[in-house]
Homo-oligomer: A and B are copies of this chain.
Amino acid sequence: MQELQLSDVYSLLEPGPVVLLTTADQGKLNLMTLSWHMMVEFEPPLLACVVSSDDYSFAALRASRECVIALPASALATKVVQAGNVSGRNIDKFALVGLTPLPALRVAAPLIAECFANLECKVVDSRLVNKYNLFVMEVVQAWIDPTQQNPKTLHHQGYGRFIVDGDIIELSSKMR
């Protein structure tokens, strides 16, 4: 994994890919699939996400105030679905799904070795957690895997139907 400039983080999340969210709850690692996230600020990079209070990860995220957002390329689609369909409450979901946790630098939650980018996050605002399960987080450290060139991401439409990234259009724009 190579360090990614924090000012470039938005370009990974703004397109709206399916991501994996990892947590560490008193040493127990877990992961879940997540599509409800958005950027909130460019730099320092802030993002928001909604993690259902029904999810086992919710309690770990709320208590530890840390997570990793990992970006899987489309080749990992079956693992993404598996991670979204099983609770980590009573199992080691990393082992079940076949993904590899790696130690992060600034949070206890693990990176995912197979993902092309990993974002270490700390919760900075939990005012909307009770009502909407909505967390605001700062990305404090970011990594990319330089061996995964031009990864195509997944976009979830519901019930396991994913759009894969297609063509690129480049237009002259000052929109950051």
Q: Enumerate chain B residues within 8 angstroms of A159, measured Cβ to Cβ.
A: 173-176
Count chain A residues whose beta carbon lies closer than 8 angstroms to a beta carbon of B. Answer: 56
Q: How many copies of this chain?
A: 2
Q: Enumerate chain B residues within 8 angstroms of A160, measured Cβ to Cβ.
A: 170-173, 175
A15, A127, A159 — which one has the most chain B CB atoms within 10 A of its CB? A15
The segment out of A56-64, A65-73, A88-96, A148-156 that lies at the interface is A148-156
Question: A49's contact among B16, B38, B155, B172, by CB below 8 Å, is which?
Answer: B38
Q: Does A27 contact B (CB under 8 A)?
A: no
Indicate if the CB atoms of B14 and A156 lie closer than 8 Å.
yes
Q: Does A30 contact B (CB under 8 A)?
A: no
Q: Enumerate chain B residues within 8 angstroms of A125, measured Cβ to Cβ.
A: 128, 131-132
Q: Does A24 contact B (CB under 8 A)?
A: no
Shortest A131–chain B CB gap in Å is 7
Once A39-B36, A85-B173 are accepted as A-B contacts, the answer to whether A164 and B161 lie under 8 Å apart by CB is no
For window 23-55 of A, CB contacts with B under 8 Å fall at: 33, 35-41, 46, 48-50
Indicate if the CB atoms of A155 and B15 lie closer than 8 Å.
yes
A50, A127, A132, A169 — which one has the most chain B CB atoms within 10 A of its CB? A169
